[in-house]
C-alpha cells in the first residue's frame, strides 16, 4: 500500500481548511473525530452538514466542525519492554526486533514539530523508566546496544498502569493528544482497571492507538488483548495487529523480513496521519446532563443516508465542556 503521496495531498488540502470561529462554549462538548478511507487514511474534505450525530434516539446539534492538520500534536509512545516481548529463547527475538523497529519508524516519521515522547514500561525487580521527551533522546535510546540486544527486555507487563501514567503526564489534555502503545497486549501486573481507563480516556479526550503483536498467551492475557481493542475503539483511536508466520502453530515465530518491514512502515505512516489529521467538533446534546454522554456519528449523503464507503473513529462518549465563553478553535 503506497500511502505517502495520498498523505501529502491530504496535508495540502487540510492546510487551507483552518479558520477561526467564536461561539459560546457553555453546553458545547468537544470531540476529536477521524474520517477514514479504505486504507485507513484521513479524509479531510467533509463539512458539518455531511455529519449526522444522535444520542438516545435524538439528534445532536453539531455546533461547529473543522478539519485540522496539527503538526504540533502531542503523542506519547508506550513501548512494552517486558520479558514476553523477547520470548524465552536465547538472543534477540524477531518479536522484539519488530517492536523496536515499529517505535523507531513511528518516531522518525513524526513531523519535526510534533511533540513526541517515549515511555518504556515493564515491572519487576524495582524497575523504573524515565520518559524521554525529545526526539534525539528517544532515537538515541532506541539505537543503543542495550536496547538493540534486548538486555533490558524483562519483567512483567503493567499495560493498564502504563496507559494511566501516560494519561496523567498529558494533563491538562490538549485537543488531538494521543497515546501509542506497542505491545503483545498481555497485562499481568497492573493495578488499574479497564473500566477506569476507559472513563479516563473519554473524559480527557485523549485517543489511544496500538500496534499489537499477536502471540500465544494465557486466558487472562487474551482478555486484555480484547480490552486493548475496546480501549482504542472507544477512545476514537485505531489498532494495528500483526501475527506470527503461522496462526495455527503455537511455536511459530514472527517473521522480520521485507514484508514485515513494509507493514511497519505503512502502519506507522497511517497512524501518524490519523493522529495529526482530524476533525474537531462542538456538540450540543438535547438532554446531555451526564459527565459523559454516549452518542453515535455517521457520514451521510445528500439524501441523508449513511455512507458505507467511509469508516469513522471517534470517542463513544464525550465529556461535559467547561462552561466559559472562549474561542472554539484555539
Q: Check residue 24 and give its pLDDT.
A: 52
Any idea which architecture 74-276 has in CATH?
A: 3-Layer(aba) Sandwich (3.40)
Q: Check residue 191 and give its pLDDT.
A: 74
CA–CA distances in Å: residue 22 to residues 137, 299, 328, 329, 330? 39, 25, 5, 7, 10
Q: Check residue 322 and give its pLDDT.
A: 65
Burial level of 90, CB count in 10 A (0-12/13-18/19+)?
exposed
Higher pLDDT, 244 or 12: 244
Task: Assess whether pLDDT exceeds 90 at residue 190.
Answer: no
Q: What does DSSP say about strands 296-299 and 51-55: parallel, antiparallel, or unpaired?
A: antiparallel
Determine the distance from the C-alpha atom of residue 243 to the mean position of all C-alpha atoms in its chain, rounded to a whole number. 19
Q: Check residue 12 and give its pLDDT.
A: 33
Q: What is the mean pLDDT of residues 15-40?
A: 71
Q: Which pLDDT tens digit goes with each residue over 207-222?
A: 999 999 987 555 555 6
Q: Which pLDDT tens digit goes with each residue over 149-188?
A: 999 899 888 899 999 999 999 999 999 999 999 999 877 7
Domain boundaries, the chain: 4-69+278-327, 74-276
Task: Assess whether pLDDT exceeds 60 at residue 13.
Answer: no
Q: Check residue 253 and give its pLDDT.
A: 78
Mean pLDDT of the chain: 85
Lowest mean pLDDT among 176-180, 252-256, 314-318: 252-256
pTM summary value = 0.87
**What are the start-end ranges of the E strands in 95-200?**
115-121, 178-183
Q: Which pLDDT tens digit goes with each residue over 46-74?
A: 999 999 999 999 999 999 999 999 999 99
Q: Which pLDDT tens digit goes with each residue over 137-146?
A: 999 999 999 9
Per the structure block, which three cell numbers stand in for 328?
Answer: 472554539
Task: Assess whether pLDDT exceeds 60 at residue 202.
Answer: yes
Amino acid at each position: 500500500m503506497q500511502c505517502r503521496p495520498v498523505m501529502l495531498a491530504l496535508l495540502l488540502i487540510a492546510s487551507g481548511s483552518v479558520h477561526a470561529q467564536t461561539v459560546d462554549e457553555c453546553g458545547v462538548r468537544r470531540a476529536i473525530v477521524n474520517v477514514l478511507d479504505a486504507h485507513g487514511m484521513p479524509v479531510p474534505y467533509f463539512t458539518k452538514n455531511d455529519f449526522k450525530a444522535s444520542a438516545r434516539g435524538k439528534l445532536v446539534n453539531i455546533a461547529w466542525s473543522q478539519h485540522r492538520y496539527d503538526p504540533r500534536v502531542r503523542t506519547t509512545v508506550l513501548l512494552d519492554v517486558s520479558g514476553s516481548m523477547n520470548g524465552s529463547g536465547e538472543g534477540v527475538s524477531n518479536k522484539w526486533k519488530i517492536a523496536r523497529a515499529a517505535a523507531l519508524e513511528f518516531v522518525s516519521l513524526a513531523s519535526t514539530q510534533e511533540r513526541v515522547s517515549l515511555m518504556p514500561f515493564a515491572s519487576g525487580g524495582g524497575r523504573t523508566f524515565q520518559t524521554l521527551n525529545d526526539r534525539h533522546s528517544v532515537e538515541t535510546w532506541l539505537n543503543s546496544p542495550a536496547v538493540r540486544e534486548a538486555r533490558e527486555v524483562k519483567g512483567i507487563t503493567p499495560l493498564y498502569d502504563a496507559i494511566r501514567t501516560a494519561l496523567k503526564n498529558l494533563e491538562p489534555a490538549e485537543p488531538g493528544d494521543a497515546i501509542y502503545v506497542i505491545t503483545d497486549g498481555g497485562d499481568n501486573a497492573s493495578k488499574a482497571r479497564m473500566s477506569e481507563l476507559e472513563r479516563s480516556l473519554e473524559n480527557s479526550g485523549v485517543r489511544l492507538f496500538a500496534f499489537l503483536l499477536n502471540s500465544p498467551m494465557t486466558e487472562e492475557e487474551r482478555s486484555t488483548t480484547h480490552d486493548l481493542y475496546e480501549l482504542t475503539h472507544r477512545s476514537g483511536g485505531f489498532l494495528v495487529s500483526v501475527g506470527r508466520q503461522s496462526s495455527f502453530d503455537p511455536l511459530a515465530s514472527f517473521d522480520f523480513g521485507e514484508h514485515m518491514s513494509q507493514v511497519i512502515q505503512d502502519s506507522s505512516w497511517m497512524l501518524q496521519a490519523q493522529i495529526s489529521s482530524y476533525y474537531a467538533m462542538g456538540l450540543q446534546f438535547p438532554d446531555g446532563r451526564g459527565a459523559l454522554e454516549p452518542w453515535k456519528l455517521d457520514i451521510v449523503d445528500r439524501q441523508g443516508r449513511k455512507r458505507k464507503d467511509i469508516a469513522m473513529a471517534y470517542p463513544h462518549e464525550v465529556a461535559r465542556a467547561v462552561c466559559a465563553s472562549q474561542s472554539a478553535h484555539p
